[in-house]
Amino acid sequence: MRTVSWSSLPSVAGVHTAPARVGGVERLIGGTPLIPLRRLTRGLRPGVEVWVKAEWFNPAGSVKARPAWFILRRALDAGWLRGRRLLDATSGNTGIAYATLAAALGVSVTLAMPANASPERIAILRGLGAELVLTDPDAGVDGALDWVQKQAEQHPDRYYWANQYDNPANWQAHYATTGPEIVAQTQARITHLVAGTGTGGTLMGTGRYLRAVKPEIQVVAVQPTDGEQGLEGLKHMPSARRVPAIYDARFPDRVVRVTAADAHATVLRLAREEGLFVGLSAGAIVWAALQVAAQLGTGVVVAVLPDAGYKYLSGPPWTRGE
């Protein structure tokens, strides 16, 4: 299977495609590899394949480089950042992507993140020079969003609120890049897309493109079993106080709910049986993809894995000595 460079992707009617580049680290965004699972898929029927899209190959180490670049470049092109700081709430990955690209482009960034975020993420953001505000850990990302919204309303001349949760550039980044890459890499053989729902951008954008190409595609959303599971990067939409505007609950064909225990166990299996050292949401997504694959007679299941596991070493499952 071949990879596709972002610059070679086709334009899509009605959707903004990849912004023009200026030649820095942003040139490395996209074209991430698609990797087959070989050992975790033993026991599946012979006509079933499971592939994972390794989004940690992006700059800043996650899938969020795609929407962060679309959001940031569109703001620059529109002049919204002239004399203002980029402002947003994050659980980690989007903030790191913003900070990475902003550092390369000379943009100032202010980010709000729950204070119980892993120390690795906090250290990375500070190392990249972002102004970081740590908010009430019990309020989660919703609390960080409350702080950001208040600052944006009180200081409109100081901040441009990027608002990744409601910004259509989020899902459009995946419509214009992730979807076409997967079609090309599978030679359009994909039958099932499995993606997590945090902001919903990956699922909505990639899924919309795939449905435009293959209307019969099955789109599977992955969420925690409830709002208390603590799976970083995934949101239990039914209990969320703020549901991202870019997410449409009617869009997925199916929602698979995952416990933290199953996600942790799958993270360990991916590391030790496939050589893939991934983050917690990636473990949840692969667990869901294997449940989907186990029900198929034939099919090509593609799971989008948001990031690697290096930002999570201070927490489970790595702190349990397993």
Please give the pLDDT value at position 22: 52
Catalytic residues: 64, 281
The pLDDT score that the predictor gives to residue 10 is 36
pLDDT at 231: 84
Contacts of 20 (CB under 8 A, 6+ apart): 73
Let me know: does 120 contact 139? Beta carbons within 8 Å: no
User: What value does the mean pLDDT take over residues 90-103?
Assistant: 96
150-180 b/e with 16+ CB inside 10 Å = b? ebbeeeeeebbbbbbbbbbbbbbbbbbbbbb
Hey, what are 252's tokens? 């997925």
Q: How far apart are the first and last CA of the chain?
A: 35
Looking at per-residue pLDDT, the higher value among 113 and 7 belongs to: 113
Residue 131: which residues within 8 A CB-CB, separation 6 or more? 85, 108, 109, 110, 111
pLDDT at 210: 98
**pLDDT at residue 151 above 50?**
yes
Q: How far is 18 from 297, CA to CA, in rounded Å?
A: 37
Write down the residue that tokens 């740590």 correspond to: 134
At residue 322, the pLDDT reads 59
pLDDT value, residue 140: 87
Higher pLDDT, 317 or 201: 201
pLDDT at residue 7, as a whole number: 39
User: In order of start, what are the domains of the chain with their CATH numbers?
Assistant: 6-57+177-320 (3.40.50.1100), 65-161 (3.40.50.1100)
Percent of the chain with pLDDT over 90: 83
pLDDT digits (tens, 9 = 90+) for 217-249: 999 999 999 887 778 889 899 888 889 999 999
The per-residue pLDDT for 240 is 86
Question: pLDDT for 46-91, tens place per residue?
Answer: 999 999 999 999 999 999 999 999 999 999 999 999 999 999 999 8
pLDDT at 227: 80
Judge whether residue 8 has pLDDT over 50.
Answer: no
